[in-house]
Amino acid sequence: MGEILLPFLVLYPLAASLIAFAGAGRLGAGGVGTIACTGVGISAVLGVVVSVILLHGPATGTLQVVLWSWMRVAGFSADIAFMLDRISMLMILVVTIVGLLIHVYAAGYMRDDPGIARFFGCMTLFVAAMLVLVLASDLLCLFIGWEGMGLCSYLLIGFWYDNPANTAAARKAFYMTRMGDVALLCAILLLAGATGSLRIVTVLTAVANGQVSPLGINMAAFFILVGALAKSAQIPFQAWLPDAMAGPTPTSALIHAATMVTAGVYLIARLHGLFTMAVPVMALMAVLGALTLLMGACTALAQSDLKRVLAWSTISQLGYMFLALGCGAWQAALFHLMTHAFFKALLFLSAGAVIMRAHHEQDIFRLGGLRHAMPGLTMAFVTGASALAGLPLVTAGFYSKEMILSGVWRAHFDLTHGWSVSGHPLWGIALLGAFLTALYIFRCVFIVFCGKAGTAATGRTSRLMTVPLGCLCVLSVCGGMIEMPAPLPRPHLFSTLVDPASLLPHVDEPFWPVLAGAAVPLAGVWVAWVLWGRPAPVMREIPGRTAVIRPVRGGWGMDGLYDRLFMQPLRLLTWLTRHDIPGRATTGTGRLTQTASTLIFRARAGFLEMLGQWAARVTRWGGRLLDRLHDGRMRWYAAWIAGGLCAGIAMAVLS
C-alpha cells in the first residue's frame, strides 16, 4: 500500500504546477493559490500516511517502487525509482509541512501580484523536484531532482525580471550552482564506473565491501562535497545566496532557508557510509563548515538589510550542519536541518510581513519601535530569533545545536597511522559562532522592534499570513524537545527515529560543555542588549566605510575574486562571440590563405614560364653554336682535333 502512494507524493504538486502554468491569465489569485495549496497539502497528508506505514514496519524497513528502468546493459543498470526510509521520511515531512505553511502564507502575500500564477507554478514545481530528490533510490533520479531545484531557484530568484539586479542575481545563482552540479555528475560517473550501478544501496554496499579503491572513494566523496557546498552556499560558493534575496519573501523562506540549500546536507547524510571511508574529505568538510559558520555570523553582524542578515544567518547555520557531517554526527546535522527549517521559515515570513507593512523598507536602521504597531509580528520574530540563537530549554534551536556541539566535542580525525586530531578546536569555533548568532539576531530584534520609531507601519497582516506564522512559532519552540542533550536522560526520540541501529547518546560525557552551550547564547543576547537595546544604546549603526567593515559587509571580497576568475573570462568569451570574432578570424584566415595560394600559384607559374623561356634561348644559342662548328670545312675540323689533342697531352703532363 505504501509503495503505491510514493509516486503520488510527487504527482500532486507537479499537477498543481501544470494547472497553475496553464491557467495563467484565466484563474484568479484565489483560484491559483487554492490549487497550489491543495496540491502541496495532499502531498503533506500522503507524507504523514506513508510515514505511519513505515514506522509500523521493521526498524530498518523501507518502502520501494521502481517506476521504470532507464538503462540495463552488460555490467550496468539504472532505474527511475523511489525509496522511503527513516532519513527520506524526515525530509518529506519537513518539505511538505513547511512547504504547505509557506504556500498558505504566499497566497496572502502575493495576492496582488500580476504574476501570481507563474509564481505558484514555480513554487509547486520546486516542491515536486525536492520530493524527487529526497525519495530517489537511484543517483540518476536524485540528479534529476537536483537539477529541477536549480531550475526553479533560477526562475524564482529572477521572478521580478523587470529589475536588472534580480536577473543578475538569478544568473549568479545559476552559474555558481552549476559548478557544483558538474562536480556531482563527475562523482556519479565515478561511482557508476566503479560499482556498475547507480542504485544508492548497491553503491554503499560496494564501498563497504571494498569493491572501490581508496582513491576512488576519496575522489567521489570530494566531488560530492563540492556539489553539496555549491548547493548549500558554503565556502567558497557562498556569494550567491545573499543576492538570491532579490526574489519574493516566500521564495526565500522555502527555497533558500528551509529546503533547497539543505539539499547538500541531505545528500551527504544519505551517503554517510561513503564519507566514513574518506577521512580526509570529512576533515576538510568539518573545517569548511567551521569557517563558514564563523564567516557567516561575522558578515551578518555587519549587514543593515534585514533579509540579507537572515541570508548570511542561513549560510552560518548550514555551516553548523556541515561541521556536524564532517565530524560524523550526521544525525545531529539532520536534526538541526529540521529545526532550522522551522525557525528560519518563521524569521523570513515574519520579516516579509514587517517589510510589507513598512512600505517595503528593509534597512533595519530606518525601522524601529515596531513592537507597538506590530505586536503579533514582534512575538513571531522574537520566537524565531530565540530559536536561531538557541536560547536554552525554551527553543528548538537549543536542542539541535547542543546535539551538534556534543558530536563535535567527541570527534577525532584519524588522518594517518598514529596521528589523530581532536575536534575540540572546532567545538570552540562552534561555541564562538553561537555567541555571534545570538548577538547579530538580537541586534536586529532590538533595532527593528525597540528603540526610537522609524518608518511608520500601515495596514494589517492577513489571516492567511498569520496562521502559518502561528504554526511555525509552535514548531520553533516545541520541535526540538524530542531530543535531549547527550548527558541528560531521555527522550532521545530523534536519534532512534532516523537511525534505529545506532547506540544511545553517550551518557558519560562531562556536563560542563552543555552548560557552556546554554550560557553562550544568553551572553550574546546580553551583549546585544547593552550595545543596541537599552534606551541609550552604546552603538547605533556599524560604520560601513571603515577598512575592516567594508569588505566584511561586501562578503569578504568573494564577488571580486569570482569576477576576476570566472566572469571576466566569460565576458571576454561573450564579447568574442557577440562580435563573431572567431568567425571573422576564420574568414580572414581563409582569405589570407587564398591570397597566399594565388600568389604562390602565380609565382610558380611565372618561374616555370621564365625557366621555359631561358631553356628555349639556351637551346637556340646552343643550336646556333653547333651550326657554326659544323660548317663542313675539313681544315677547321683538323684544327679542333689538333687543339684538343694538345690540351689533353698538356693536362696529362701537368698531372
Residue with cell string 590563405: 593
Which neighbouring-strand residues pair with 78?
Answer: 71
- Pairing of the two strands 76-84 and 63-73: antiparallel
pLDDT at 504 over 70: no
pLDDT of residue 239: 85
pLDDT at 243 over 50: yes
Q: Which three cell numbers stand for residue 349?
A: 515570513
pLDDT of residue 185: 93
pLDDT of residue 544: 46
- At 605, the amino acid letter reads A
Buried b (16+ CB within 10 A) or exposed e, 539-553: eeebeeeeeeeeebb
334/548 Cα distance (integer angstroms)? 35
Question: Quick one: average pLDDT of 375-389?
Answer: 93
pLDDT of residue 547: 47
Segment among 159-173, 203-217, 286-300, 587-601 with least mean pLDDT: 587-601
pLDDT at 563 over 70: no
Q: Which three cell numbers stand for residue 469?
A: 506564522
42/546 Cα distance (integer angstroms)? 53
pLDDT at 124 over 90: yes
Under the banding of pLDDT at 50, 70 and 90, the label for residue 562 is: low
Segment among 424-428, 454-458, 480-484, 543-547 with least mean pLDDT: 543-547
Between 644 and 121, where is the model more confident?
Answer: 121
pLDDT of residue 568: 72
Quick one: what percent of the chain has pLDDT higher than 70?
A: 89
Residue range 580-637, pLDDT digits in tens? 776 777 777 878 888 888 888 888 888 888 888 888 888 888 777 777 666 667 777 7
Segment among 4-13, 84-93, 404-413 with least mean pLDDT: 404-413
User: Of 139, 279, 273, whose CA–CA distance to 207 is shortest?
Assistant: 273
Question: Quick one: average pLDDT of 185-193?
Answer: 91
pLDDT of residue 489: 66
Is the torsion defined by CA of 435, 437, 440, 445 positive or negative?
negative
Residue range 23-75, pLDDT digits in tens? 877 888 889 999 999 999 999 999 999 999 998 888 778 888 888 888 777 77
Quick one: angle between helices 279-301 and 424-449, nearest 10? 30
Tell me what the pLDDT averaged over the chain comes to: 85
- The pTM for the full model equals 0.84
Question: Quick one: average pLDDT of 460-477?
Answer: 90
Question: Quick one: average pLDDT of 287-313?
Answer: 91
Buried b (16+ CB within 10 A) or exposed e, 152-168: bbbbbbbbeeeeeebbe
Which neighbouring-strand residues pair with 82?
Answer: 65, 136
Residue 423 phi, psi (nearest 5): -90, 5
pLDDT of residue 186: 93
Tell me whether residue 396 is exposed, middle or buried, using C-beta atoms within 10 angstroms of its C-beta: 0 to 12, 13 to 18, 19 or more.
buried
Between 644 and 330, where is the model more confident?
Answer: 330
pLDDT at 538 over 50: yes
DSSP 522-579: HHHHHHHIIIIISSS-S--SPPSSSTTHHHHHTTTTHHHHHIIIIIHHHHHHHHHHHT
Question: Quick one: average pLDDT of 519-529?
Answer: 93
CA atoms within 13 A of residue 197's CA, in its CB half-sphere: 14
Residue range 551-560, pLDDT digits in tens? 555 555 666 6
